[in-house]
Amino acid sequence: MKYALVTGGGRGIGRETCLKLSDMGYYVIINYNNSEQAALEVKENIVSKGGRASVIKFDVCDNLEVTKALEFWKNEHPDEYIEILVNNAGIRDDNLMIWMEPESWHRVINVSLNGMFYVTRLLIKDMLVNRFGRIVNVVSLSGIKGLPGQTNYSAAKGGVIAATKALAQEVAKKGVTVNAVAPGFIDTDMTKNMDKETLRQQIPVGRFGTPGEVAALIAFLASKDSSYITGEVISINGGLYT
């Protein structure tokens, strides 16, 4: 059995990624923190189509919680390992820096940047021992271009991008690739309060992307066909920033 873990797998890009990985034959482990019902619905969707899936609860910000949950999984599966990791969990808490509270800064960075570290460090050893692994970090246009009102989010995603490039060099010789996917404006819960009509006018293709389009790119990077791609940040933004 081949296993894949998707953090924040209950909604949006995470949800569609879980479905894509299941289609590729993976047993999908769907992580959630608060969205239990959404995660269970993804699991039921996969199982109803003949796939295999389970849910796992932990807050990626909490190192102890992450460690306990993943060590428990390892103890339950001593002869198996998670070969695909999609670090998708992330939050936005937008504000101009002049009005941004320290809590907003730390919370956004904790989820995207620290969360990526806490989860990845526990799974990377088994990938190296087995000489195969795929790590895909979901970042953002904001982490490349920077967007006003998102200094915290831009800093978090920019940090993940730098970590992606560094880690890729550490593990490449062992058959483990590390890449990042940088979506632009995607039609998810995270963008539901944005002025979509105004933003569409800035996007060359004239629309927001779909979670399924991002998931298809993630699935390719998780496949064996992507074995010569590592340390890359691939944008999927409708031509908004090229």
Question: What does the pLDDT average to over 188-211?
Answer: 82
Tracing tokens 């460090």 back to the chain, one arrives at 121
- Our CA angle for 159, 60, 238, nearest 5°, is 50
- Mean pLDDT to the nearest integer, 215-232: 98
Residue type, 242: T
Q: What is the largest CA-CA distance in the chain?
A: 52
Q: Region 145-161: what's the mean pLDDT?
A: 95
Domains present along the chain, CATH in parentheses: 3-236 (3.40.50.720)
* Predicted confidence (pLDDT) at residue 65 exceeds the cutoff of 90: yes
pLDDT digits (tens, 9 = 90+) for 8-22: 999 999 999 999 999
- HSE of 38, CA atoms in CB hemisphere, 13 A: 17
Question: What number of helices (H) and strands (E) belong to the chain?
Answer: 9, 7
Residues with catalytic roles: 153
pLDDT digits (tens, 9 = 90+) for 159-193: 999 999 999 999 999 999 999 999 998 887 776 67
Is 194's pLDDT higher than 80?
A: no
Amino acid at 165: K
Query: Which of 129, 126, 89, 87 is closest to 108 using CA atoms?
Result: 89
Percentages of the chain per state (helix, strand, coil), in multiples of 5? 50, 15, 35
Q: Is the pLDDT of residue 242 over 70?
A: no
3-class DSSP state of 201: coil
Determine what percent of the chain is predicted with pLDDT higher than 90. 89
pLDDT band at 25, cuts 50/70/90? very high
Query: What is the spatial distance between Cα 149 and Cα 146, in angstroms, rounded to a whole number?
Result: 9
pLDDT at 183: 95
